């Protein structure tokens, strides 16, 4: 009897010892330890969604950025079936591209276009398809390859978006991605256990407004943006930079984007954390404030968890391949189109039709800017009076507060403005804060329609 008791105690101690041993042998993989570098294992799959939301040769840099990102992920070991690419695909074989079929993302850079999947191109690059892809909803797609983010609860997801942006939205060739809509999609993806953790990088003007006061820390999403909620982001490797080949009339990349990608090109992503990269990019992106949002516990995860890594491809790369910020010319994203037309005019032969065409394009762009400036100013004066207008339209809310209270109003009023006054364009997008503030001021739909009609009744064709 005593012997049986002794054996029972011995068995209990053995089992307890085994339980302790097991708990130390296997790292935690639940949410309680989600920020630890040791949880960035290969148990789950890596997925990526890459989005260039613009079209036109003057926006060369956005598709160049996306193509470069694809090459990093591909070399890192991600399969094409797990990389979903949105790009209008009108750059590589554009008549203005001096290197047909080739896209570069830096002076003397390699071709980053080769091999890039053409999942969603042309008119299929739109907000509805993007939301459907993120949610893994094939039934909601219109055109494209049909690839969606079929990620599961153990998977790591990386989303990178490069385009023009403004307060509360990101551009698409034919529509907009609104911050509140994007957040709802991400919340739905999280609720469906569609990922273990997600990293989201955005290159755009006022990109911080997509997450400011909107991205909660409980979604397991860590995000960084090229700019805060009230400033432009910047193109780089632009015409006029001595290092940029003379045949290029447009910027080859964006400063925030090439900062993180060129860092990936030379770094061991097994050893570099998301926080390390954020600090590197923040130091190099001197013209705007690189921001971070969401679940900060993920900052200590290693980049390879999202982007993979292939050390053999980095052995012949040196830090000299990264251009110094003091050498690279940075241009406000909203001025890159103006620079493009100026460069075309400068390069065209004197007295040629090409010269005349470039001059006409430049003058039309300048006239469009003046028209937009005038219409927004007048709209504010019609609604609020001359003295109060500027203060109301340009009001900036405190950090941490969304730019608008009523997102349906914001979308509705922007549609009303564009119906009566014409498409805002990349330059005019700088005024979406004004539209948001009109909503915040409590203006009714009827008043907005009447004021827009009065403001732009005799508008030129913009």
Q: Are 84 and 147 in contact (CB under 8 A)?
A: yes
205 in catalytic set: yes
Q: How many helices (H) and strands (E) in the chain? A: 14, 12
Q: How far apart are CA 241 and CA 321, in angstroms?
A: 16
Q: How far apart are CA 362 and CA 88, in angstroms?
A: 24
Q: What is the DSSP letter of 273?
A: B
With a CB cutoff of 8 Å and minimum separation 6, the contacts of 300 are: 35, 36, 37, 273, 274, 275
Q: How far apart are CA 203 and CA 224, in angstroms?
A: 9
Please give the torsion angle defined by the CA atoms of residues 88, 269, 331 and 378, in that order, rounded to the nearest 10 degrees: 70
Q: Annotate 257-272 with b (16+ C-beta within 10 A) or e (fewer).
A: bbbbbbbbbebebeeb
Catalytic residue among 62, 68, 124, 164: 164
Q: Are 145 and 118 in contact (CB under 8 A)?
A: yes
Q: Are 185 and 131 in contact (CB under 8 A)?
A: yes
Task: Look at residues 194, 203, 180, 191 and name the one whose alpha carbon lies nearest to residue 59.
Answer: 203
Q: How far apart are CA 351 and CA 331, in angstroms?
A: 29
DSSP string, 82-127: GEEEE----STT-TT-SSTT---SSTTPPP--TT---SB-GGG-SH
Q: How far apart are CA 297 and CA 266, in angstroms?
A: 25
Task: Look at residues 130, 101, 104, 272 and name the one whose alpha carbon lies nearest to residue 210.
Answer: 130
Q: How far apart are CA 18 and CA 81, in angstroms?
A: 41
Catalytic residue among 67, 205, 238, 409: 205
Residues annotated as catalytic are: 164, 205
């Amino acid at each position: 009897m005593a012997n049986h008791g002794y054996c029972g105690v011995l068995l209990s101690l053995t089992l307890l010892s085994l339980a302790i041993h097991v708990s130390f042998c296997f790292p935690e993989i639940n949410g309680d330890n989600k920020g630890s570098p040791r949880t960035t294992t290969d148990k789950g799959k890596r997925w990526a969604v890459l989005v260039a939301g613009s079209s036109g040769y003057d926006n060369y840099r956005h598709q160049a950025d996306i193509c470069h990102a694809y090459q990093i992920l591909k070399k890192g070991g991600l399969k094409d079936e797990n990389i979903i690419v949105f790009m209008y695909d009108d750059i590589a074989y554009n008549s203005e591209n001096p290197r047909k079929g080739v896209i570069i993302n830096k002076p003397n850079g390699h071709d980053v276009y080769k091999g890039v999947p053409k999942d969603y191109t042309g008119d299929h690059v739109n907000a509805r398809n993007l939301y459907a892809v993120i949610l893994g909803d094939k039934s909601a797609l219109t055109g494209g390859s049909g690839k969606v983010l079929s990620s599961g609860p153990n998977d790591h997801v990386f989303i990178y978006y490069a385009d023009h942006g403004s307060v509360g939205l990101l551009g698409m060739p034919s529509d907009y991605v609104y911050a509140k809509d994007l957040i709802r999609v991400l919340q739905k993806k999280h609720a469906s256990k569609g990922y273990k953790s997600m990293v989201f990088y955005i290159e755009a003007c006022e990109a911080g407004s997509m997450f400011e006061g909107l991205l909660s820390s409980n979604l397991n999403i860590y995000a960084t943006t090229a700019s805060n909620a009230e400033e432009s982001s910047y193109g780089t490797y632009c015409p006029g930079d001595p290092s940029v080949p003379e045949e290029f009339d447009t910027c080859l990349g964006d400063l925030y984007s090439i900062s993180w990608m060129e860092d990936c090109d030379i770094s061991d992503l097994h050893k570099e954390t998301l926080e390390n990269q954020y600090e590197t990019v923040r130091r190099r992106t001197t013209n705007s404030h690189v921001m971070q949002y969401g679940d900060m516990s993920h900052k200590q995860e290693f980049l390879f968890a999202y982007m993979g890594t292939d050390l053999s491809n980095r052995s012949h790369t040196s830090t000299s391949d990264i251009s110094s910020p003091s050498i690279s010319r940075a241009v406000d994203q909203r001025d890159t189109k103006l620079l493009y037309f100026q460069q075309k005019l400068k390069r065209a032969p004197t007295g040629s039709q090409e010269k005349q065409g470039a001059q006409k394009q430049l003058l039309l762009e300048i006239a469009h800017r003046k028209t937009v400036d005038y219409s927004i100013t007048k709209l504010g004066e019609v609604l609020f009076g001359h003295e109060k207008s500027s203060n109301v339209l340009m009001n900036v809310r405190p950090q941490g507060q969304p730019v608008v209270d009523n997102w349906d109003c914001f979308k509705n009023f922007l549609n009303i403005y564009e119906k009566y006054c014409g498409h805002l364009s990349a330059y005019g997008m700088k005024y979406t804060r004004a539209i948001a503030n009109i909503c915040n001021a409590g203006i009714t739909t009827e008043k907005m329609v009447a004021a827009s009609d009065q403001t732009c009744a005799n508008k030129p064709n913009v």
